[in-house]
Chains A and B, each alone.
Chain A
Amino acid sequence: GENVEQHPSTLSVQEGDSAVIKCTYSDSASNYFPWYKQELGKGPQLIIDIRSNVGEKKDQRIAVTLNKTAKHFSLHITETQPEDSAVYFCAARLGSARQLTFGSGTQLTVLP
């Protein structure tokens, strides 16, 4: 099955700085890579996703890049704000499957 590794496990940045979270996946058949944000006491919420036929996708302050050859993808958050503080999860999905395999999560803290 698929295995997803995520780094770092914790990340602290000053407000206004950028934050980068990286993930690697094991199965080259994976073709969908979402990123979820989980706030305290809530369920994960999709913030951005990318499919394997695209190398980069951007949505305002959030961007995701995908390197299929190296089997890794990254989340980039620019101009961070205190409300960006949360746990972020990357995930991957095999083309033949519906369920997601999640990374271990990154606790992002944006310091005011």
Chain B
Amino acid sequence: DTAVSQTPKYLVTQMGNDKSIKCEQNLGHDTMYWYKQDSKKFLKIMFSYNNKELIINETVPNRFSPKSPDKAHLNLHINSLELGDSAVYFCASSQDFGEAFFGQGTRLTVV
């Protein structure tokens, strides 16, 4: 069983479009995250979210917004996509302050 699953795995889209990436975890964790991995492999936190608070990395443009329909899902919505948004986006989850489990990633290419 996949613990943290993301869809789609690959996403190619044109500049200016709006797109969403979906994430689901079946671990019963209380916190979910979105990380961005750039072309140099740097992994940076974008958001962390549990049912009590959303923490946003201040460097993330407000074109990016997390949406959580329930505790097991944290989707990432991106408006007005730009070339610089091209990266691999990872969803992750953890329980309290325990181990973080990562999804397989979504490779976003903006053309």
Contact = CB atoms under 8 A, between A and B. Distances in A.
B45 A100 contact: yes
Nearest to A104: B42
Nearest to B55: A99
Given A87-B41, A105-B42, A100 B100 contact: yes
Contacts of B4: 43
Interface in B58-111: 90, 92, 94, 96-97, 99-105
A36 B92 CA distance: 13
Interface string B42-65: 111100101000010000000000
A89 to B, nearest CB: 6
B25 interface: no
Contact size class for B?
Answer: 20 to 34
A102 B99 contact: no
A89 B43 contact: yes
Contacts of B48: 97-99
B105 A42 contact: yes
Given A98-B48, A98-B97, A42 B41 contact: no
B97 A32 contact: yes
8 contacts: A49-B99, A97-B55, A98-B50, A98-B55, A99-B45, A102-B43, A104-B41, A104-B42
Interface of B: 4, 31, 33, 40-45, 48, 50, 55, 90, 92, 94, 96-97, 99-105
Given A36-B102, A89-B43, 20 more contacts: A38-B41, A41-B104, A41-B105, A43-B92, A43-B102, A43-B104, A45-B102, A46-B99, A46-B100, A46-B101, A87-B41, A98-B55, A98-B96, A99-B45, A99-B48, A99-B55, A104-B41, A104-B42, A105-B42, A105-B43
